[in-house]
Amino acid sequence: MSDILYVVLPCYKEEEVLPETASRLAVKMSGLIEAGKISPDSKILFVNDGSKDRTWEIICELNASNPIFAGVNLSRNRGHQNALLAGLMVAKDRADAVISMDADLQDDINAIDEMLHKFGQGFDIVYGVRSKREKDSRFKRITAEGFYKLMRTMGVDIVFNHSDYRLMSKRAIEGLEGFKEVNLFLRGIVPMIGYPSETVMYERAERFAGETKYPLKKMLAFAFEGATSLSVRPIRIISIIGLLSFLASFVLLIYFIIDYTRGGTTAGWASTIVSIWAIGGLQLLAIGIIGEYIGKIYLEVKGRPRYIIEKIVISK
């Protein structure tokens, strides 16, 4: 008997892309069903992340027109990672495997075949990895690759050039369910599950409609969120810099004493002002990073729900 596959797509203000996305995925899923690679009970699950446009209305219309489409409506906007997690948890009890991807279909849907093949070989997690970034601008390519290098430098175990296009088995999602943190960074959490994993290479296409939901500002915030959610290395780096600054000041103190005994004269004003500004800036940076961790602890201790589902539409 073929495995039930759910394809989960978080959506936020995607009314422009949903009709085309649904059409392409329906053709793909129908082909897989006809080939006997997946069960006829497989679904395309859209997760509406509190969109204010017609996104949820379109999802309901798709569900009414074709039972292969299903939908989850969150009570309010909770961000991409929480919306994705909501979709995975809804699909967990209904599917043998779940593939997550973006609603704009920049991820190549033809890679699904290879993902299913790897899943059939016994891999619980199959990562979709970009083979190249030739279609990106130079700035986008440098910042994106720098993001992954920064994550690794900060001690985050992350798959290079992998976003959230991946296949996860039922037991892998059950393992993910055990991670209860409110501050989600799934690209760093999924590798921590530890089940057998593999990668599939693909080329990412350009967005065919709508605007990107991850401009530079959000990408930087996402990177900082990932580093502080999964690693304490930023605090350790600050500690090392503080220690080196103290040692440098101690060496300078000895130098000035020796220079004074030799009758040397030092203006002192410039070095004093520079030192004050440097140390003051370092202190503010350190306080900011520590404050970020305290804020995360505050949110975790509260234990607020990561998402609230308002409605689920899944046809049998």
At residue 118, the pLDDT reads 96
Q: How far is residue 50 CA from its own chain's centroid?
A: 18
pLDDT for the residue numbered 122: 94
Q: What are phi and psi of 254, to 5 degrees?
A: -60, -40
What's the topology of domain 5-211+305-313?
A: Spore Coat Polysaccharide Biosynthesis Protein SpsA; Chain A (3.90.550)
Per-residue pLDDT tens listing for the chain (316 residues): 589 999 999 999 999 999 999 999 999 999 999 999 999 999 999 999 999 999 999 999 999 999 999 999 999 998 899 999 999 999 999 999 999 999 988 889 999 999 999 999 999 999 999 877 666 667 666 766 677 777 777 667 788 888 889 999 999 999 999 988 887 888 888 998 989 999 999 887 765 555 555 555 666 666 666 666 666 667 667 767 766 766 676 666 676 667 667 766 555 654 675 577 667 767 767 777 787 777 777 777 777 788 999 999 998 7
Q: Residue with structure tokens 């690679």?
A: 37
CB 9 within 8 A of CB 112: no
Check: CB of residue 229 under 8 Å from CB of residue 300: no
Give, to the nearest 10 degrees, the angle between helix 80-92 and helix 170-177: 120
Segments of 222-308 assigned E as strands: none
Taking a C-beta distance cutoff of 8 angstroms, is the pair 209, 17 a contact? Answer: yes
Whole-prediction pTM: 0.74
Note the pLDDT of residue 112.
Answer: 95
In whole angstroms, give the CA distance from residue 133 to residue 123.
26
Q: What is residue 167's predicted lDDT score, i.e. its pLDDT? A: 97
- Rounded CA separation 159/190 (Å): 10
Classified as helix, coil or strand, 73 is strand
Q: Is 310 helix (H, G, I), strand (E, B) or coil?
A: strand
Radius of gyration of the chain (CA): 25
Confirm if 245 and 283 have CB atoms less than 8 A apart.
no
* pLDDT at 270 (0 to 100): 47
Rounded Cα–Cα distance for residues 70 and 63 (Å): 6
Taking the alpha carbons at both ends of the chain, their separation in whole angstroms is: 18
How many residues belong to the chain? Answer: 316
Instruction: For 9-30, give the DSSP string.
Output: EEESS-TTTHHHHHHHHHHHHH
Name the token pair of 114.
């290879």
Contacts 24+ apart (CB under 8 A), 209-214: 209/16, 209/17, 209/20, 209/104, 210/13, 210/14, 210/16, 210/17, 210/104, 212/104, 213/12, 213/13, 213/80
Distance CA 98, CA 261 (A): 74
Residue 51 pLDDT: 93
User: How many Å apart are CA 85 and CA 100, to the nearest integer?
Assistant: 10
Question: 182 phi and psi, to 5 degrees?
Answer: -80, -35
**Rounded Cα distance, 83 and 91, in Å:** 12
